[in-house]
Structure 1
Amino acid sequence: MTTAQRPYRGVFPVAPTVFDAAGALDLHGQRRAIDFMIDAGAEGLCILANFSEQFALSDVERDTVMDTVLDHVAGRVPVIVTTTHFATRICAERSRRAQAAGAAMVMVMPPYHGATIRVPDLGIYDFFRAVSDAIAIPIMIQDAPVAGTPLSPALLARMAREIENVAYFKIETAGAAGKLRALIALGGAAVEGPWDGEEAITLMADLDAGATGSMTGGAYPDGIRQITDAYAAGRREDAMDAYARWLPLINYENRQCGLLACKALMRAGGVIAHETARLPVQPMDPETRAGLIEIARRLDPLVLSWSR
């Protein structure tokens, strides 16, 4: 069992789902990626998120990845399992499975489908209430543009106050810092974990707004820790300096590479054998990849030397 205690805080990067050259699950590579991330300072992990290509996995593959990772982590750090699904019943069942397998928390997006199918506030409230009723571990609501679902600070705070296990919030929308401040003001102690996301591109503003955790890409938790550790210790100027150093790489990941950045850096450093993304996701443009590696090398992240 992990010794980490609630509230969970710090850097909980998203682990990629590792594939072989043909696009099948590479469980050996998956375990190496997890070991690297823990060695690089991840205070927890998130699996099966959008940056894990969860949308490209079958239900059987999801369970395989979840069981493999949780067994391999063996309590070294807390693991958040993403259980997002449009259907309340399926999301609740996925969440029960995650809890039974050893997840510390589940992360769930509000129900949506495609570009136009959205659920109103009442449906969102009832959805999260039903998922909460199915489990006894915390729920992190992921508030991200991909859902296209407006989640007001008032609605989020109400769910924190009234739904037992809704306690963590990953805010990735535009103006995240302002939304975090409003959520904390409205929700008070019920907001156990106001968190930052979006590869940490808005991390300093979000820390100043009260964020206590950050869910980033998986390639350089050691770099993100330089920011969050200094901030938590009250050394804001040191945190600002570290943020300025790492921001070009964060920006390159966020704006140029997306979910492909983590695998490219892990492959460049020999952590994993292949950086395959499952089709129809296309490989990264070679020149873009070269630019990513060039910027990373200036910072000497552990990912580029871990396997040596």
Structure 2
Amino acid sequence: MANTIYRGVFPVAPTVFDDNGRLDLEGQKRAIDFMIDAGSNGICILANFSEQFVLTDAERIQVQDTVLNHVAGRVPVIVTTTHFSTDICAERSRAAQNAGAAMVMIMPPYHGATIRVSERQIQEFFGRVSDAIDIPIMIQDAPVAGTPLSAPFLAKLAKEVKNVSYFKIETAGAASKLRELIELGGDAVVGPWDGEEAITLIPDFDAGATGAMTGGAYPDGIRKIVDAYAAGDTEKAADLYMQWLPLINYENRQCGLAACKTLMKEGGVIKSDMVRHPLAPMHPKVREGLLRVARRLDPLVLSWGK
């Protein structure tokens, strides 16, 4: 897969727990099977929407190995390996590659609200991680890191750090940033991608995005939009986007990472929609609203397991 260019819809898989908050690895496999059946071009695991921040290191390895062994090459899998420590991030990335990951996704080093490093250290960080692996690196440019990454700096990383070639842009004004990144980075920017549950999908694709990393509950709906856009039928893509936007918005603005699990549980994909404490369970009225919006669209997730 060294020369493969990854495009399309690569949703984030939830990490599945039982009602007691323990890993449910059989449920994890079912979630992955559903996501593939729903048309995912690939899958991302251990991301923020996977609750990576509530997992122990041992659990991360369990989820990673379970998913990669179960997928068995059916679709490419991106593994999030973010860590503040350069050496730990490099070690995680090498382990992901050895387990069969197609790519790793990494945020710039940050800790808490205030601990940040300079652009020079960020470049050294990605350079050392790149030296440890042979697969592409996707830089996740998201507000959660609180680290400004300008388009010129990202383009510089693409040109100067061997494996840095994909970028998931989730900041305000994402379309403008994607457009500038593509202009400045040229061929070094192999994969400019949309993120944040596809809330800015059409503007980002208008700007040149070629991939979308969304929530994991309705890849079938996002595929319809992206496939129409890729085929050149932008009007059809816009019409489809308008149909799915209420659900995208409900996930993005009301539910967050819990939306995927709620929809998967409702459709019999998984047994429990547990999120780990201190995350709070979804309010029953919010759940009711999410399901009401979803049922109007009849996504595969609501029938897959029944």
Give secondary structure in 1 for the equivalent of 2:167: strand
Listed as ranges, the matches of 1:75-86 within 5 Å are 75-86=73-84
Give secondary structure in 2 for the equivalent of 1:80: strand
Give secondary structure in 1 for the equivalent of 2:296: helix
Match of 1:178 in 2: 176
In the TM superposition, what is the alpha-carbon distance from 1:197 to its structure 2 partner? Answer: 0.1
Match of 2:153 in 1: 155
Check 1:239–1:112 CA distance in 2 against 1; reply closer, same or farther (3 A cut).
same
Match of 1:43 in 2: 41
1:192 equivalent to 2:195? Answer no
- Aligned partners of 1:134, 1:154: CA distance in 2, in Å? 25
Match of 2:214 in 1: 216
| TM-score normalised per structure 1 | 0.98
Residue identity matched to 1:92: A
- Aligned partners of 2:117, 2:252: CA distance in 1, in Å? 28
In the TM superposition, what is the alpha-carbon distance from 1:97 to its structure 2 partner? Answer: 0.2
- Aligned partners of 2:2, 2:281: CA distance in 1, in Å? 37
- Aligned partners of 2:172, 2:283: CA distance in 1, in Å? 27
Match of 1:296 in 2: 294
Listed as ranges, the matches of 1:1-308 within 5 Å are 6-308=4-306
Give secondary structure in 1 for the equivalent of 2:14: coil
In the TM superposition, what is the alpha-carbon distance from 1:4 to its structure 2 partner? Answer: 10
- Aligned partners of 2:199, 2:104: CA distance in 1, in Å? 23
- Aligned partners of 1:216, 1:279: CA distance in 2, in Å? 23
- Aligned partners of 2:118, 2:273: CA distance in 1, in Å? 39
Paired residues in the alignment total 306
In the TM superposition, what is the alpha-carbon distance from 1:5 to its structure 2 partner? Answer: 6.2
- Aligned partners of 2:198, 2:121: CA distance in 1, in Å? 30
Check 1:4–1:205 CA distance in 2 against 1; reply closer, same or farther (3 A cut).
farther
- Aligned partners of 2:5, 2:153: CA distance in 1, in Å? 22
Moved over 4 A (4+): none
Instruction: Indicate conservation of the 8 Å contact 1:171/1:180, yes or no.
Output: yes
Instruction: Indicate conservation of the 8 Å contact 1:4/1:78, yes or no.
Output: no
- Aligned partners of 1:11, 1:299: CA distance in 2, in Å? 19
Give secondary structure in 2 for the equivalent of 1:137: coil
Give secondary structure in 1 for the equivalent of 2:273: coil
- Aligned partners of 2:78, 2:110: CA distance in 1, in Å? 21
| TM-score normalised per structure 2 | 0.99
Q: Aligned Cα RMSD in Å?
A: 0.9
Instruction: Indicate conservation of the 8 Å contact 1:223/1:246, yes or no.
Output: yes
- Aligned partners of 2:3, 2:64: CA distance in 1, in Å? 21
Q: Deviations over 1:168-226 (max 9, x none)?
A: 00000000000000000000000000000000000000000000000000000000011
In the TM superposition, what is the alpha-carbon distance from 1:307 to its structure 2 partner? Answer: 1.2
- Aligned partners of 2:77, 2:191: CA distance in 1, in Å? 15
Give secondary structure in 1 for the equivalent of 2:104: strand
Give secondary structure in 2 for the equivalent of 1:299: coil
Check 1:4–1:121 CA distance in 2 against 1; reply closer, same or farther (3 A cut).
closer
Residue identity matched to 2:164: V
Q: Could you tell me the percent identity over the aligned residues? A: 74
- Aligned partners of 2:165, 2:93: CA distance in 1, in Å? 15
- Aligned partners of 1:135, 1:249: CA distance in 2, in Å? 38
Q: Deviations over 1:246-278 (max 9, x none)?
A: 000000000000000000000010100000001
Q: Deviations over 1:19-59 (max 9, x none)?
A: 00000000000000000000000000000000000000000
- Aligned partners of 2:32, 2:89: CA distance in 1, in Å? 25
